[in-house]
Amino acid sequence: MRTILALSAVLTASLTLAACGDNSAPADATPKAPPPPALTEAEKVAVLAALPAPYNAGDLENGRRAFARCRSCHTITPGGPNMAGPNLYGVFGRQAGALDKYSYSHALRTAGFTWDAEKLDHWLENPKTFLPGNKMTFAGLRDATDRRDVIAFLKVETGYTQQGE
C-alpha cells in the first residue's frame, strides 16, 4: 500500500510539473527574425576578397582553426547565446561592452571605443595588457598571421559590412 501511495505521489508531482510548461519567455516577447542564410563557400570567398587589406589576404581555414580556441567561450551565429564570453555576431562596429544580456567587466563597460579590426587585433594579441581589468582569461594570440586570419574569419562569419566598422 505504501508503495502504491509513493508511486501515486511521484506520478502526481511529475504531471503537475509537466503541466507547468516553460514560462521563461516574457509574455510580451516578440518572435525573433529568422537568421540570415549561411553563406556559401563562393560567397565567403567573395566577402574575403572585398575586405580591406590585410584581411583580404587572410586564410579562412587557418582563421577557423585559430578561432577554435575561442569557441569554448564565444559563439558567432546570429542570435547565438552568450557563454563565458559574449556572442560575437555583429562585433565589428559595436560599442565595446554594449551587447545586451551579457555581464561585462567594468573595464569593458566603460572602455568607450567601438570594435574594429585594429582594436580586435590588439585585443587578441594580449587582452590583459590591451584593457587592464577585463575578465577575459585568454592569454592571447601572439602570431600576427593567426590574428589576421581570425579577424578575416570573423568578418566573413559575423555579418561584417564596410559600414559596420
Single-letter residue type at 11: L
User: How far from the centroid of its chain's Cα atoms is residue 88's Cα?
Assistant: 3
Cis-peptide into 54, omega within 30 deg: yes
User: Which single residue is written with the C-alpha cell 594570440?
Assistant: 141
Q: For the chain, 165 residues long, give each residue's pLDDT as a single digit of tens.
A: 444 434 344 444 443 433 444 444 444 455 566 667 788 889 999 999 999 999 999 999 999 999 999 999 999 999 999 999 999 999 999 999 999 999 999 999 999 999 999 999 999 999 999 999 999 999 999 999 999 999 999 999 998 876 555
**165's grid cell:** 566598422
Task: Give the CA dihedral 94, 100, 102, 103, nearest 10 degrees.
Answer: 100
What is the pTM for the complete model shown?
0.76
Query: Residue 160's pLDDT is what?
Result: 86
How many C-beta atoms lie closer than 10 Å to residue 62's C-beta?
17
Query: Residue 165's pLDDT is what?
Result: 55
DSSP label at residue 25: S
